[in-house]
Amino acid sequence: MSEAKENKTKHETAWFSSGCFWGTEYHFMKAPGVISTTVGYMGGNTENPSYLEVCTGKTGHAETTEVCFDPTKTSYEELVKLFFETHDFTQIGGQGPDIGDQYRSVIFYSSAEQLAIAQKYVALLTKKGYKVATSIEPAQTFWEAEDYHQQYYERKQGTPYCHIYRKIF
């Protein structure tokens, strides 16, 4: 087997929206098995939207984090757990002080398996007594955000103000 084939990592992709994408990305980029993260927009009706357009709330997009991961080192299920454990999935119409549809809580799925896992965790949380506001929607085109948004907290050497980890599962 050639060295190139041995070093080629198989990866899968997941998309999560949980308020400001800076905080969402912060937690995912630190998760074991995550290869890369990219912030952008998904779920709207405007092609190639800009940050300023998304902030108007008129494009229908949610600030979204694309997570590429190595399924031999983590699972989609682990990422879904982290998603729920790093934001207030009961809040409608925003996240913390960030109010607007662009900050809504969404899991975008790209396969029947991802859909089933997302539904499983919404059901588990509902059974625990939570009123889950997270929607589960089919993945659409992911539009990458401007460069200055990528790995924001790492570049600024800060931590999120509205994405705090809390163990649930």
DSSP-H helix ranges across 30-140: 51-55, 76-85, 112-127
Q: How far apart are CA 79 and CA 69, in angstroms?
A: 9
Closest Cα to residue 111, out of 87, 83, 144, 76? 76
Q: How far apart are CA 23 and CA 159, in angstroms?
A: 8
- Mind telling me the catalytic residues? 20
Q: How far apart are CA 82 and CA 66, in angstroms?
A: 14
Count CB neighbours of 107 within 10 A.
26
Q: How far apart are CA 4 and CA 152, in angstroms?
A: 32
